[in-house]
């Protein structure tokens, strides 16, 4: 074994590790795009909250905690948001959102447009399968997540 062989082996190992990391990051950072068809189904969240997104762009929502929809209003805590309306998928940099335009609702305080974030899997939440979630309070904190049922 010559004195240059250990250096070559170290270089080969480092190069292999570097290439592996580059491939891993390239795969993890691929940007898949959700479609409206990916959104259509029944979504369930903690506390029996249910969001049904239909193929005709209508939705129903049941038992969504009011404090998830309207932040900072203590009078809304514990009041369920139950309603229906129209939905669409929209890109709001840096997230995809399902936008809910509430047209029929029991409590008029919820008569509004409600954004529901779309997140996936992977390092950047940008790969299917897609989930729906609301931020609990500040963006980037805890999530109130709906999963496909």
Identify which has the larger pLDDT, 106 or 19: 106
**Which pLDDT band, with edges at 50, 70 and 90, does 4 fall under?**
low
Does position 11 have pLDDT exceeding 90, yes or no?
Answer: no
Element (H, E) at 68: helix 66-69
* Domain boundaries, given as residue ranges, for the chain: 1-29, 36-148
Predicted TM-score (pTM) of the model is 0.72
Check residue 30 and give its pLDDT: 46
Arithmetic mean of pLDDT over the chain: 80
Q: Sign of torsion, CA 124 37 97 70?
A: negative
The percent of residues in the chain predicted with pLDDT above 90, rounded, is 22
Check residue 83 and give its pLDDT: 93
Q: Sign of torsion, CA 102 107 108 112?
A: negative
Element (H, E) at 148: strand 143-148
Question: Which of 54, 53, 56 is closest to 43 using CA atoms?
Answer: 53
81-97 burial, b at 16+ Cβ within 10 Å, e below that, comes to: bbbbbebebeeeeeebb
**Which pLDDT band, with edges at 50, 70 and 90, does 10 fall under?**
confident
- Over residues 41-67, the pLDDT tens digits come to 999 998 889 999 999 999 999 999 888
Average pLDDT on 10-18 reads 72
């Amino acid at each position: 074994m010559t004195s240059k062989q250990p250096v070559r082996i170290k270089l080969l190992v480092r190069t292999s590790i570097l290439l592996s990391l580059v491939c891993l990051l390239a795969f993890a950072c691929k940007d898949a795009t959700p479609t409206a068809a990916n959104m259509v189904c029944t979504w369930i969240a903690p506390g029996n909250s249910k969001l049904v997104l239909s193929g005709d762009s209508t939705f129903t929502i049941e038992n969504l905690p009011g404090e998830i929809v309207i932040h900072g209003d203590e009078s809304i805590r514990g009041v369920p948001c139950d309603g229906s309306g129209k939905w669409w998928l929209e890109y709001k940099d840096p997230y995809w959102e399902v936008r809910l335009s509430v047209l029929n609702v029991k409590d008029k305080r919820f008569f509004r447009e409600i954004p529901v974030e779309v997140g996936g899997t992977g390092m950047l939440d940008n790969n299917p399968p897609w989930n729906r979630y609301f931020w609990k309070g500040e963006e980037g904190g805890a999530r109130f997540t709906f999963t496909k049922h």
